[in-house]
Chains A and B, each alone.
Chain A
Amino acid sequence: MTRVVVDPVTRIEGHLRIEAELDGGNVRDAWASATMFRGVEAILRGRDPRDAWAFAQRICSACATVHAIASVRAVESAVGAVPPPNARLLRNLIVASQTIQDHVVHFYQLHLFDWVDVMASLNADPAKTASLQQSISDWPLSSATYFAGVKSKLKAFAGSRQLGPFANAYWGHPAYALSPEANLMFFAHYLEALDWQRDFARLHAILGGKSPHLQSFLVGGMATPIDPDRQTSINAGTIAQMRALLAKANDFVGRV
């Protein structure tokens, strides 16, 4: 029996330790511990219930809006408050866009390096990478020139000996199963997703003033006024902006 400890588990929100007992390459038993505690429940006790969502939201910034809305709903059902239809629509927009954003960030920014050998993409043929990308979708960032550019930037970065977040990782491990071309394509997507998610967060800033930790929830409704004819409300202009951001999101998720 061998005991393996992974602590910290990285590319997650929070702190996690995994211990596993191995027997001839098979996991016989395993233990997971969340190694950080704040006591948010104890901090909330005795406070004004209208404030609770702001505390609950800080449980996790990656899924912050979900905690905030769950808290607001809990208080609403305790006091029998029914939010108006517009508030319900705003909340739905916030949660739906969070779901889209979260899936993209989870896959690219957090999970990707478990599957993609970044350094192996230095052996990729840009023309073959372009064919691979074009066989998947009609996403426009798919030329051989584009992938050659990504590759040369990565090469310069790797040559600088300041590897930053890519240092001391598992590059070259036989468990990485993708071709060099697939690795290069996914690394390009990692960079594209990094830019896209930053841009998409503006939707949450419109609906909540800022992202992360939107600040527009209220027990009984939402604090964002809606009036198509007012400069200081969610109006025709901000709705058009949100539509554009959602169209880009649809495009990114559907084609990348």
Chain B
Amino acid sequence: MRDAGTILGELRQRGVSRRDFVKFCGVMAGALALPGRAAGEIAEALAGVKKPSLVWLQFQSCGGDTASLLRASRPTVTEILLDVLSVDYHQTLMAAAGTNATALLHGDAIAVVEGAIPAKDGGVYCMIGGRTALQIVKDVCGNAAATIAVGNCAAFGGLPAAAPNPTGAISVSEAVPDVRNLINLPQCPVNVENFTATIVHYLTFQKWPELDAQRRPLFAYGKLAHDSCQRRAHFDAGQYAEQWGDEGHRAGYCLYKLGCKAPVAFSNCPSVRWNGGTSWPVEAGHPCIGCSEAKFWDRNTPFYEHLDGVDGYGVHASIDTAGVAAVGALAAGLAVHGIAAAVRRHKADGEDEP
């Protein structure tokens, strides 16, 4: 067969028609925020490449990024495991165990890291096959052509690194300073759509997506969640849920006052959403906790206090107490988020202070 050993060939063997394949590429173009005509380019590229090897390492994690991988819907998890990638090492999914498993560890692959790496006390807080996570990540990611840090723990240290960081947990970039082509996909856990879109971008264009200063792909982390939020119109109109289950909460008003961190979270949650586009936390009625950002377990907590109590974001006035004089200072700090405009409208409407 002409396309034997390629991704299209594999998909054909599994009964996927060319037409379905092109349709799938169209969905991927959407996920990557590319114009529809890019579908043809993606299809052409994917049809010709050999399945890339993937080595998926797990350290100080809850397995959440793996659980997310299992929820993949475009392409499906079955397609990822059997057709699109050769998943050579993944402790939660592989049949082999013990030395049969660790013999499959290699750096001639795209490395994926899930979980933080403990550096304290010689790295004893995460051991696999008698080696420390630190040794393994240096070995594998030090040789890999590219490393994808999935989830906030691998990208930024995440939960294990939250104060007082009992195990000296660090991120991939801290553990392997000379790592090549690092891509950070924070979120807690990673939204698998962003992982698969990153892989498809690579397979299509033979290069990794454009990144921001924290090495996050712009197609997924280029905009504040707040700016594409379905509740944004209510924010701009000064309509807030004040209490859980109140009229505003049930009517889908803005969750800012209940603690929403979407104004400081760069993430495509509102547009891509989760679980095949079913929902995302703000849509379900709970504030965003800002899990796409470094140190969110410390900077964004308490989760149920609204943002102006958070250090480091340039917010100096309280939305609860801001008087007319304070609006100017608020505007300086937050013009980019439109918060000041909303507060002004809120005042102009003559609504009572909460």
Contacts and interface: CB of A to CB of B under 8 A. Distances in A.
Interface of A: 5-15, 17, 35-40, 42-43, 47-48, 50-51, 54-55, 57-62, 64, 105, 109-110, 113, 118, 149, 152-153, 156-157, 160, 162-170, 191, 194-195, 197-199, 201-202, 204-213, 215-216, 218, 221, 223-225, 227, 230-233
B30 interface: no
B143 interface: no
B301 A47 contact: yes
A160 B301 CA distance: 49
Contacts of B249: 225
Nearest to A194: B78
Interface stretch (B157-165, B209-217, B319-327): B157-165
Interface magnitude class on chain B: 35 or more
B45 interface: no
A233 B127 CA distance: 45
11 contacts: A5-B98, A7-B130, A38-B159, A38-B160, A51-B303, A164-B82, A168-B101, A191-B78, A197-B70, A208-B281, A232-B251
A163 B188 CA distance: 30
Contacts of A231: 252
A211 B126 contact: no
Interface in B107-147: 118, 125-130
B280 A210 contact: yes
A40 B280 CA distance: 26
Q: Is the interface of B mostly helix, strand, loop or mixed?
A: loop
A157 B4 CA distance: 11
Contacts of A191: 78
B348 interface: no
Contacts of A5: 98
Contact of B166 (A42, A166, A168, A205): A42
A169 B100 contact: yes
Contacts of B280: 209-210
Contacts of A113: 95
A205 B53 CA distance: 31
A54 B296 CA distance: 12
A12 B91 CA distance: 8
Contacts of B189: 61, 212-213
A105 to B, nearest CB: 7
- What 4 A-B pairs are tightest by C-beta distance, nearest first? A232-B252, A39-B166, A209-B281, A209-B284
A215 B93 contact: no
Interface string B249-290: 111100000000000000000000011101111111111010
